[in-house]
Amino acid sequence: TNNHVIEGADEITSIMADNTEFTAELLGRDPKADLAVLKFDPKDKELVSVSWGDSDIARVGDQTIAIGNPLGLGGTVTAGIISAISRDIGNGPYVKFIQTDASINRGNSGGPLFNIKGEVIGINTAIISQTGGSIGLGFAIPSNSAKKIITQLKDFGRTKRGWLGVQITVVTKEIAESLGLPDEKGAFVSN
C-alpha cells in the first residue's frame, strides 16, 4: 500500500472483498517513495495474489485498469489509458510516475493499476485536482520501481539508498566557456 494510507496509524486492518478482517503488521515503510509493506496471517483462508507486470514495457496509449476503494466504494474498477510513463509531479527524485486517466479518487491509494493482461504495472498513489476529485490526472508508482523498494522493506524494514557526497552545479554558458567546454551539457562537481 502507500505510506500515506497507514502513516500515523496505531492499528491497521486489512479487509477482504467478503468483509473478512485481518489485523495487519507493518513490516516497513518508505515515506520518500510513499510505499509501505503490510503482513497479516490469513489463517485458514486461501488467498490468491495478483501478478506483477513489467512497467518498463508500458507505453503511452496503453489501456489501464485501476481497482480500489474510492470514497469507501470497495471493488470499484475504472479504465483509461497511459498519458505518460515517467511523469515528475514534484514529489522528489525517488519515483517517476505512470500517468493515467483511469479515474482515481481518494481511497484508491495503494490499489493496483493493471495492464490489459491483468498484470500489476503500478500502485495508484496520487491525483492532481483542484476539486479533490478525479479529473483524469492519476498517478501510479511503476511496478518495477515498487518491486525494488518492497523487497528492501520486507528484508530490512526500510529502504537503503546510495549517497554520493558531492555538490552539483548545472553547466551554464559561463562555466562552459571558462572550462573550454564545447557545449552546456552535463553537470559540474563544485564541491
Calpha distance 6→166 (Å, rounded): 34
> Is 4 noted as a catalytic residue in this protein?
yes
User: Which of the residues 55, 103, 109, 143 is marked catalytic?
Assistant: 109
Q: How far is CA 66 from CA 82, 122, 125, 184, in A?
A: 11, 9, 11, 42
Nearest to 68 by CA among 30, 32, 104: 104
Contacts of 70 (CB under 8 A, 6+ apart): 76, 103, 104, 105, 106, 107, 108, 134
Given the C-alpha cell 552546456, which residue does it identify?
184
> Is 155 noted as a catalytic residue in this protein?
no
User: Which of the residues 34, 103, 134, 145 is marked catalytic?
Assistant: 34
CA triple 146-87-63, angle to 5 deg: 75
Q: Is the separation of the CB atoms in 151 and 141 below 8 Å?
A: no
Q: Is the separation of the CB atoms in 147 and 130 below 8 Å?
A: no
> Is 62 noted as a catalytic residue in this protein?
no
Catalytic residues: 4, 34, 109
